[in-house]
Amino acid sequence: MAFCQVIVDIAHEDVDRVFTYRVPKGLELCPGMRVHVPFGRKPRIEGVVVELVDSCDLPPERVRDVADTLEDYPAILPQMLELAREIKATSFCTLAQALRLMIPAQMRGERISEKTKEYAVVTVDPAVRGQVLAGQKRAPKRAAVFERLISAEGGELSCEQLKSEIDDYRPALNALVKMGFVRLEKREALRSPYGAMERLAGEDPVLTGQQEDVLSRILPAVDEGRGAFLLYGVTGSGKTEVFIRAVRRAAQQGRTAIVLVPEIALTPQMVMWFRSRFGEDAAVLHSRLSPGERYDEWRRIRRGDVRVVIGARSAIFAPLENVGLIIIDEEHESSYIADNTPRYDARELARLRCEKEGGTLLLASATPSMRSFALAGRGDLTLLEMPRRVKNRPMPEVHVIDMRRELAQGNRSVFSGALLDGLKSCLDAGRQAILFVNRRGYSTFVSCRSCGYTVTCSQCDVSMTYHSSENVLRCHYCGEERPVPSVCPECESRYIKYFGTGTQRVEEEVHKFFPDIPTIRMDNDTTRTKDAHEQLIAAFRRGEARILIGTQMIAKGLDFPNVTMVGIVAADAMLKLPDYRSAERTFQLLTQVSGRAGRAEFSGEVYLQTYDPGHYAIESASRQDYRAFFEQEMRRRKRALYPPYTLIARLLYEADREQDAQSAAESAMRQMEAFFERRSYLRKYVVSLRVMPCPVKRIKGKTRWQVALKIVDKPACREAVGKMSEIAQTPLEGCTCVCQENPSSMM
Ligand code: ADP
Ligand code: ZN
Ligand code: ZN
């Protein structure tokens, strides 16, 4: 008798274990296959086979049969099963939750199926086909269908094609099938997401000396399937070419590769590059694929049809076999961390996959994360550097402009005189410019100049944002809209105006100064539709506009040869966010944006406007001095006990009624205190443990409370974070709770 152990697809702690089922005769099973099983009173639910066993201790009447399989192959590869177990252990979720990461969401609950096309194929030998045709004389339809099929290439046609040529072909075809002259075949039709993509000529450039040097370290490691590298290469140093050569080497060794990029839609160029170099051997996974496209790409990968997968964070779960190389571009990006349960860091999982499958890990950035650079300093990652741009092109010259002085001199425009001059000479020279507007933290809000009243959302504790195209105020948390007041509701003053600098405002100002210059604006409003992002970028590349105005989404990865001027309208906006990473984020963003200037023959100029020119993040970014920034920031983190020296975790409670959130948070606090009572050896590592209302007390009408823990980053201390995750999973009356680790905002 054969049995199997199954994890059922229910994300509840009570069923977070294997259940034993009998394998009925004739059903071929192996670990990793998805099955339907009866469970409790439900006749069928989905599950994953994790193990086959010969015997079972349970009385036979208590063991039920596997109903059937969902696919005839294991959807979860053995190494992915292992990875799921690792995620369960480190992020304190159930195995069912971890397994859900491994397959496209659409595959669960049978919401998507393969798209198939039916083909009619002639089965009789070519020598006797004429004879068969002659035999059908008395059935003209049958003869017509058969004649059409034998005249088609390979003796086959899709039924779709037959239908379009011969009316009412089906009964005749069915008869031919019955007689054994034709057979029907269902073939998978894969949806391709590459329709509209630009293609580049795939010529290999001659490598630069720097590229040669770093590849001479990376390629031998790829050959041996080992090594973990951090490639610190300034913007425009040619990192993409290094990736391409390394991927090609892995492919030559018969192995596969994964390339992670922050969010692929943000770098369509990267996809284009890989597709033009690797063609059908490359697959792309990103959030803008339709469910069908996503599933089909997944199937192509799982079938072993591709050598390299390019994708955003979740592509780390690509079902590739024999992974020999994982590359993470822009490794400092926070988007590599999934914040929701199950929480994971794609960089950590990449390291694990490489260790388990014998592969090389390559992290790359012009502004490495504090953590990775610190790891390189300790020797846990091998540091490789490309300090110069391709062809010794100069780094852009950065002009720092003190906006306080501009204001004192009576300039109330969003642009300084220097930025305007720079923009003018760039346009006069026939080049293109980028104006970057840091939307985060500098949203446009309406405020009264007489009494200071600001319009806030009635459901959330935040100011509402002004949208000039529709002339409304909108809440960015819940979407509530309100008309713009013309007099202050508080003091009836008419001096109520919007403040701050949004992309629309900047666009309007540009048109005031340069009425004839065409511009393109890229922000959340102009990129809502599918492909809008790619289309705007392509139009700018074709030169249809001279100035590109945009938010964070234009900061990274883009390579426009004709752009020589970058204006950063408000460099320090993000510095004011209440996040311990705001200096790091500011430095990274400024360096990345500056890196868009002067990437080809013409040298670049950057105009960086700030109200805080002395801040070390601004100052070191203006000199493009990563090391100086790193050292100063690490000293500050150590002094203030922030990560990577500590772990920060919080339990966030939200409830309709304030007392529910408060009492749930207070009860969690007592459980944490009791936990540290029992684990006295951990107590000395606790920096702080507090219960309090969140700074933003309400969002979408829910009151918010939190328990915040800061503890020294030691392996043993992860246990405390585990305890918090456990507490978060206990349901509470009228409350929702999430556990966040190093949250991007404590608001
Ligand atoms: P990074 O990602 O390091 O910022 P890219 O990979 O985008 O830089 O390369 C910058 C520019 O240099 C691109 O236009 C790229 O085509 C070009 N480039 C890269 N390597 C070479 C090379 N070996 N020879 C000529 N041009 C190169
Ligand atoms: Zn007022
Ligand atoms: Zn709101």
Does residue 495 register a pLDDT over 60?
yes
Does residue 629 register a pLDDT over 90?
yes
- The pLDDT value recorded for residue 540 is 93
**What digits encode the pLDDT tens for the residues 335-368?**
898 877 788 899 999 999 999 999 999 999 999 9
Separation of CA 313 and ligand 3 centre (Å) = 29
Does residue 83 register a pLDDT over 70?
yes
Atom of ligand 1 nearest to the CA of 240: 6
Is 371 in the same domain as 260?
yes
Is 121 in the same domain as 101?
no
Contacts of 500 (CB under 8 A, 6+ apart): 442, 443, 444, 445
- Beta partners for 364? 231
Q: How confident is the model at residue 269 (pLDDT cuts 50, 70, 90)?
A: low
The 3-state DSSP composition of the chain as helix, strand, coil percent (nearest 5) reads: 40, 25, 35
Upper half-sphere CA count for residue 543 (Cβ side, 13 Å):
5
Does residue 440 register a pLDDT over 70?
no
Atom of ligand 1 nearest to the CA of 390: 12
CATH of the domain at 720: 3.30.70
Is 181 in the same domain as 227?
no
Separation of CA 491 and ligand 2 centre (Å) = 4
SS3 496: strand
Does residue 673 register a pLDDT over 90?
yes
Ligand nearest to C-alpha 481: 3
Ligand nearest to C-alpha 462: 3
Residues 93-99 have a mean pLDDT of 89
Q: How confident is the model at residue 251 (pLDDT cuts 50, 70, 90)?
A: very high
- The pLDDT value recorded for residue 196 is 39
Q: Is the CB of 235 under 6 A from ligand 1?
A: yes
Is 238 in the same domain as 353?
yes
CATH of the domain at 540: 3.40.50.300
| Of 314-328, 403-417, 442-456, the least confident | 442-456
Three-state SS across 110-174? HCCCCCEEEEEEECCCHHHHHHHHHHCCCCHHHHHHHHHHHHCHHHEEEHHHHHHHCCCCHHHHH
- The pLDDT value recorded for residue 137 is 82
**In terms of residue numbers, what domain contains 343?**
209-391
Number of domains forming the structure of the chain: 5
Q: Which two tokens stand for residue 22?
A: 């009998």
* Chain centroid, CA 448 distance in Å: 39
- The pLDDT value recorded for residue 386 is 96
Q: The whole model's pTM is what?
A: 0.79
Separation of CA 654 and ligand 3 centre (Å) = 15
- The pLDDT value recorded for residue 674 is 95
Does residue 443 register a pLDDT over 80?
no
Atom of ligand 1 nearest to the CA of 206: 23
Is 26 in the same domain as 86?
yes
Q: How confident is the model at residue 576 (pLDDT cuts 50, 70, 90)?
A: low
Separation of CA 451 and ligand 2 centre (Å) = 4
- The pLDDT value recorded for residue 650 is 92
Residues 479-484 have a mean pLDDT of 83
- The pLDDT value recorded for residue 718 is 85
Residue type present at position 525 = D
- Compute the C-alpha angle 697/702/704, nearest 5°: 40
Is 580 in the same domain as 687?
no
Q: Which two tokens stand for residue 494?
A: 């008419």
- The pLDDT value recorded for residue 346 is 94
- Angle between helix axes 346-357 and 78-91 (nearest 10 degrees) is 140
Residues 450-454 have a mean pLDDT of 73
Could you tell me if residue 36 is inside a domain?
A: yes
Is 346 in the same domain as 250?
yes
Q: Is the CB of 240 under 6 A from ligand 1?
A: yes
CA distance 271 to 261: 10
**What digits encode the pLDDT tens for the residues 531-559?**
788 889 889 999 999 999 988 777 766 77
Q: Are 161 and 145 in contact (CB under 8 A)?
A: no
Nearest residue to 734 (alpha-carbon basis) of 668, 663, 669: 663
E strand or H helix at 698: strand 686-699
Does residue 525 register a pLDDT over 90?
no
Number of H helices, E strands in the chain: 22, 33
Contacts of 174 (CB under 8 A, 6+ apart): none
Atom of ligand 1 nearest to the CA of 269: 7
- Beta partners for 398? 606
- The pLDDT value recorded for residue 501 is 62
Residues 176-203 have a mean pLDDT of 67
Percent of the chain with pLDDT over 90: 43
